[in-house]
Structure 1
Amino acid sequence: MIDHTPHSALLPVRGRAAWATGALVLAAAAWTARAGWQLRLASVGQPASGPPDQGDGRHRVLTGLEDAYHLVAAFADALTVLCALTFLAWLLRVRDNARALSGSPPRYGWPWVYAGWILPIADLWIPRGIVADAYRATAPGRRLPACVNWWWGLWLVGLISGVGLMYADSTDDVIARAYGNVTPLLVADAAVVGAAVAAVLVVRALTAMQEEA
């Protein structure tokens, strides 16, 4: 049985879970569209005029397909930001509820809920640790769902691949990559989409445990 902390000590989590789930689904769809446009760019091939960035600060006029990719990429980036905000709002709520259920302070203080995603090295394990600790505090003795490890593994692939979540280059440079070798881009996009889908399962699993509590 889960620890029977009085219900008044817990904050509602279903609403935040619904927002996070919806944002994750939209982000996954947007990144799928981004991958589709990259495939279209690769199939059409680079124009005879060369890549969009001509070097020395010169840029040629974009083709219709390239211009559309700029819009799709910007939309995917905006949905990624929305996804991050809603996921963090949900994570803060379940973390607070886990603390109320266990009666013990969490291993990571609240600043880590934010800083853990952006600090080098720390971002490789702290966010997963926050989720795992919240689940274990909510349901002591229960095995951590496999979706947590799938989510984090796929997230790391997208994060450290250099062509996924953390594009170091401009959108025009990514277009040039799609013309030259689209496979690494598609692998990174697939990892991001997979991570979003797994994150939906994580949100559902932890939310269900707290509602049961």
Structure 2
Amino acid sequence: MIEQNAVQVGPPPTLRPVRGAARCAVVALSLAGAAWVVRAVWHLRLAAAGEPASGPPGQDGGAHRPLNALEDSYHLVSSAGAGVTAVCAIVFLFWLDQMRDNAKALTGARLVHGYGWLWLGWIVPVANLWIPRGVVADVHRSVFPERPLPTVVNWWWGLWLLGLAGGVGIIYADDTDEVIARAYEDVVPLLAADLVIVAAAAAAALMVHTLTTAQQEHIARKGY
């Protein structure tokens, strides 16, 4: 008890309010998941309509035929989904930034991954296969070194990587017209990728809630 009181001597750590950021992140992730559900519906609509007699949007020799109404609407759905996903990424990283700052303030220790990896970890080739998960793991383990990492973190990261695989998930290797052609030819891989991304968004939302709740309960127990 004496040792515990000695640790608490001095001004309390400066903590950032994170509950609001967590709620925003959950809402953003929910919207991103909904956007991918809409995209899946349009993939089904394209597959059900079938390829027009004039062929796919992309023609031989690099030419493009005029889009029909359904294909035009898919372009809008795709652009809107990309915009929602970009906003979701920003909101998620803002939440993670606040959680990371709080973890450092609570423990007084340097985290394994420096601040730059919070942003660069997502875009540096090869490193982006594990660094973002490592940043999230740092936030939890620095405060709770005795606890195992919540399983939802691994579910989120596994689904995220699966969504990236093959260029049919979060980041398409093909342009929108080529994705339309894929929907005409074989819609199943596109629908599978859509399902994975929706599941990844749901897992991310649960992870945000789980890690935020754990950190806030720790702060409350410490009386900060």
TM superposition score normalised by structure 1: 0.94
Partners of 1:126 and 1:104 lie apart in 2 by 19
Query: 1:73-92 to 2 correspondence within 5 Å?
Result: 73-92=78-97
Q: Deviations over 1:181-203 (max 9, x none)?
A: 11111111111111100000110
Instruction: Specify whether residues 142 and 45 from structure 1 end up closer, same or farther in structure 2 by C-alpha distance, changes over 3 A only.
Output: same
Instruction: State the match for 2:188 in structure 1.
Output: 183
Partners of 1:34 and 1:199 lie apart in 2 by 19
Instruction: Specify whether residues 13 and 7 from structure 1 end up closer, same or farther in structure 2 by C-alpha distance, changes over 3 A only.
Output: farther
Give 1:138 shift. 2.3
Structure with the greater alpha carbon radius of gyration: 2
**Which residue of 64, 86, 96 corresponds with 1:59?**
64
Instruction: Specify whether residues 203 and 162 from structure 1 end up closer, same or farther in structure 2 by C-alpha distance, changes over 3 A only.
Output: same
Partners of 1:120 and 1:104 lie apart in 2 by 28
Query: Which AA in structure 2 matches 1:144?
Result: L
Instruction: State the match for 1:29 in structure 2.
Output: 34
Partners of 2:55 and 2:26 lie apart in 1 by 41
Instruction: State the match for 1:146 in structure 2.
Output: 151
Give 1:57 shift. 3.3
Q: Deviations over 1:158-212 (max 9, x none)?
A: 1122111111111000000000111111111111111100000110011111211
Aligned residues: 211
**Which residue of 82, 92, 106 corresponds with 2:111?**
106
Gaps of at least 5 residues in structure 2 are 220-224
Give 1:7 shift. 5.2
Give 1:128 shift. 0.5
Partners of 2:66 and 2:39 lie apart in 1 by 21
Instruction: State the match for 1:199 in structure 2.
Output: 204
Where 2:53 maps in the other structure, the secondary structure is coil
Query: Which AA in structure 1 matches 2:63?
Result: R
Instruction: Specify whether residues 21 and 96 from structure 1 end up closer, same or farther in structure 2 by C-alpha distance, changes over 3 A only.
Output: same
Q: Is the 8 A contact 2:13 2:106 kept in 1?
A: no
Give 1:43 shift. 1.3
Query: Which AA in structure 2 matches 1:139?
Result: F
Q: Are residues 1:20 and 2:25 paired? A: yes
Instruction: State the match for 1:168 in structure 2.
Output: 173
Where 2:59 maps in the other structure, the secondary structure is strand
Give 1:156 shift. 0.1
Partners of 1:119 and 1:74 lie apart in 2 by 24
Partners of 1:183 and 1:85 lie apart in 2 by 30
Q: Is the 8 A contact 1:139 1:209 kept in 2?
A: no
Give 1:8 shift. 4.3
Q: Deviations over 1:116-169 (max 9, x none)?
A: 001111011010011111011222312211111110000001112211111111
**Which residue of 88, 97, 100 corresponds with 1:95?**
100
Query: Which AA in structure 1 matches 2:159?
Result: L
